[in-house]
């Protein structure tokens, strides 16, 4: 169609009113050695010959047509499926915390309300709901808060209850917990090993870095408490899997140093998350911070390359997850499983779209007594599909990114999209490098996370 003018990799259509409407981009070009092309539908990555790449980069429409002819059409992800029941829940067993981290989205666990503990009855009702609709399937139960080990009794009993019920429904249950680690005792460690927990420990790096933001009430070092409690587990994890999770605030955007500090403590895997919303001003990253943060992430990535060469294992879990997803062609119109495969249960027994939206009435989906509302889930999800969002609908990375965390976006808007695209560019290149140098990881289903 001669009316089409290609511009970069999106089409602009002159419309009757003279207002330009943009069709969503179908591909993204990555210059470099070798030249790579990323097709948005199906998240398909191709290497192409430099001369062909030059044609595509020059906006040659017939070159583009030939590309799509060879790569064939990819079926569009249908978004009007029958919505199956979620297979994962998080139980906020303790909406209360022994620390008072400055940036906490959960207001020290209280989520803006009173400190509350989940009753065993509520936990069991939520577990019943999960298992009864998932006969014969794999399910996931995560414990979160606040600090979940403040309600140790319910945590332990809930695990046992879930295992007993799962025998009847023939479901297979996986457990996980997000904790600050400071309250763990020997019995807890044994319990975590016994039930093969996936443990995410919130620590921000070295003692100095960590204690700046993550504070105890009496001034002792939260870092020391956590490390002391966790060291036996780090030395002997048994069947448990432990990852450290770092929150990065704008006053210190360094990534590599924090990862290394935690690796020295004994963690094998560290993931980082930039702070986007915060009750305390001056902590969340702002527009001007993202380029620096991207540099920091890339620096950590390059260090990881060397680490991989030597050990064959990933320690930087952001990168590990990216590799896994790019390899499999992750292509989803949503950023995560909230309200879809996963819901969160508040201490009082209400269902919310995820652990970030607990006790926010905008995100309520029902309660454990009257059940999870299918209609509410549908309504929520329909409003979140990435092709309905601006500016996401015209971004090449939309099916990798998914539009960003619902809770963050709905409370403080989208920022750092250039960072996300920059990081994904980096990961696509990294992936291509890794696939060429270490093909066996990917072929043998090597665990990269």
Partner 1 sequence: MIPKIFPRNLTARASVEVVGNPVTTRLESAVGNCFPGLEFDHRNLDRRFFPGLIVEFAANGIRFLEADLNDPALAEEAGLKQTLAGDTGIRLKQGAWFIEEITQGGTTIEMPQVGQGLDVAMTSWRLVRSLQPGSVTIKLERRLRRGDDQRVPRTPIKLTAKRRTYVDAQTGVIDVAYAAGELTQSLCSPWMHDFRDCACYYWASNHPDIVLAEDPPGEPTLPSGAPMDPVRALTPIDWLRRDRGKTDPAQADADRNREHEIDHYEINQAWQNLAIVLQGREISSIYQPPTSDPANPFNNPDELAERLAELATLEHAVALEYLYARYSLKDPGSVTQTRLKNDLIFVWHEILLVAVSEMRHLRWDNQLIWSLEHAGLLTKKVGPALGIIEDIPVAFDPSRPPQLPPVKVDKTRKRQLRPLEPDVLQDFVSVEQPSGFLDGQYARVLATLREKKYPDTLAQLAARIIGDGMDHFTRFRDIQGVLQKYKKPQDYLRNVVPAPEGHPLGDKALQLYGNIINELRAAYDKGDMEDAIHIANARALMFELDGAARKLASEGFGVRFFTTPPVQALSKNHARRRPGTK
In the complex, the residues that contact partner 1 under the rule CB under 8 A are 36-37, 39, 42-49, 51-52, 63, 66-67, 70-72, 74, 80-82, 84-85, 124, 128, 132-136, 161, 164-165, 168-170, 326-329, 331, 371, 431-432, 435
Min CB(329)–partner 1 separation in Å: 3
CB of 52 to partner 1, least distance (A): 4
Lookup: tokens for 102:
């400055």
* Residue 43 vs 247, nearer CB to partner 1: 43
CB within 8 Å of 434: residues ≥ 6 apart: 308, 323, 441, 442
Q: Which residues contact 407 (CB under 8 A, 6 or more apart)?
A: 105, 277, 353, 354, 356, 357, 363
Smallest gap from Cβ 7 to partner 1, in A, equals: 22
Q: What is the smallest separation between the CB atom of 45 and partner 1, expressed in angstroms? A: 4
In the block, which residue shows the tokens 């905008």?
Answer: 362
Closest to partner 1 by CB, 45 or 253: 45
* Least Å from the CB of residue 305 to partner 1: 18
The pair of three-digit structure tokens given for residue 370, joined into one six-digit string:
């009257």
| Residue closer to partner 1, measured from CB, 45 or 407 | 45
Cβ-based burial of 7 (10 A; exposed 0-12, middle 13-18, buried ≥19): exposed
- Taking the C-alpha atoms of residue 243 and residue 28, their distance in angstroms, rounded to an integer, is 33
Distance CA 136, CA 133 (A): 9
- Paired tokens of 117: 């503990």
Nearest distance, CB of residue 42 and partner 1, angstroms? 4
Of 161 and 438, CB closest to partner 1: 161
For the bound state, the minimum distance from the C-beta of residue 84 to partner 1, rounded and expressed in Å, comes to 8
Question: If we measure between CA atoms, which residue out of 394, 279, 404, 393 comes closest to residue 334?
Answer: 404
CB nearer to partner 1: pick between 83 and 207: 83
Nearer to partner 1 among residue 27 and residue 97 (C-beta): 27
135-166 burial, b at 16+ Cβ within 10 Å, e below that, comes to: eeeebbbbbbbbbbbbbbebbeebbebbeebb
User: Closest CB to partner 1 among 124 and 234?
Assistant: 124
């Amino acid at each position: 169609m001669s009316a089409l003018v290609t511009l970069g990799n999106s089409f602009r259509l002159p419309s009757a009113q003279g207002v330009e409407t943009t069709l969503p981009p179908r591909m993204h070009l990555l210059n470099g050695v070798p030249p790579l092309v990323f097709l948005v539908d199906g998240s398909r990555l191709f290497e192409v010959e430099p001369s062909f790449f030059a044609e595509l980069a020059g906006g040659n429409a017939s070159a583009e047509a030939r590309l799509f002819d060879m790569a064939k059409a990819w079926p569009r992800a249908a978004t009007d499926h029958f919505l199956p029941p979620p297979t994962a829940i998080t139980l906020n067993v303790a909406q209360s915390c022994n620390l008072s981290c400055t940036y906490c989205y959960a207001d020290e666990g209280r989520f803006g309300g009173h400190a509350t503990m989940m009753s065993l009855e509520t936990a069991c009702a939520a577990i019943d709901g999960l298992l009864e609709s998932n006969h014969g399937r794999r399910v996931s139960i995560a414990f979160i808060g606040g600090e979940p080990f403040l309600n140790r009794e319910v945590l332990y009993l809930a695990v046992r209850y879930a295992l007993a019920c799962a025998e009847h429904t023939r479901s297979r249950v996986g457990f996980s917990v997000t904790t600050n680690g400071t309250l763990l005792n020997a019995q807890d460690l044994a319990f975590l090993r016994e039930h093969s927990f996936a443990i995410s420990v919130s620590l921000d790096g070295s003692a100095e870095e960590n204690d700046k933001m993550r504070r105890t009430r009496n001034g002792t070092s939260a870092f020391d408490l956590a490390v002391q409690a966790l060291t036996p587990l780090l030395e002997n994890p048994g069947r448990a899997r432990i990852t450290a999770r770092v929150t990065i605030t704008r006053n210190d955007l360094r990534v590599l140093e924090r990862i290394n500090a935690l690796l020295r403590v004994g963690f094998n895997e560290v993931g980082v998350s930039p702070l986007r919303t915060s009750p305390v001003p001056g902590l969340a990253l702002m527009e001007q911070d993202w380029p620096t943060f991207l540099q920091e992430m890339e620096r950590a990535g390059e260090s990881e390359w060397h680490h991989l060469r030597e050990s064959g294992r990933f320690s930087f879990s952001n990168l590990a997850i990216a590799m896994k997803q790019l390899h499999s062609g992750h292509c989803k119109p949503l950023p995560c499983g909230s309200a879809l495969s996963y819901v969160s249960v508040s201490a009082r027994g209400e269902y919310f779209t995820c652990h970030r939206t607990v006790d926010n009435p905008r995100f309520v989906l029902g309660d454990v007594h009257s059940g999870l509302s299918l209609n509410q889930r549908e309504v929520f999800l329909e409003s979140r599909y990435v092709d309905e969002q601006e500016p996401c609908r015209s971004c090449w990375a939309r099916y990798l990114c998914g539009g960003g965390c619902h809770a963050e976006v709905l409370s403080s808007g989208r920022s750092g999209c250039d960072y996300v695209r920059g990081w994904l560019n980096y990961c696509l290149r990294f992936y291509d490098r890794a696939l060429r140098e270490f093909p066996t990881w990917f072929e043998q289903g090597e665990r990269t996370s």
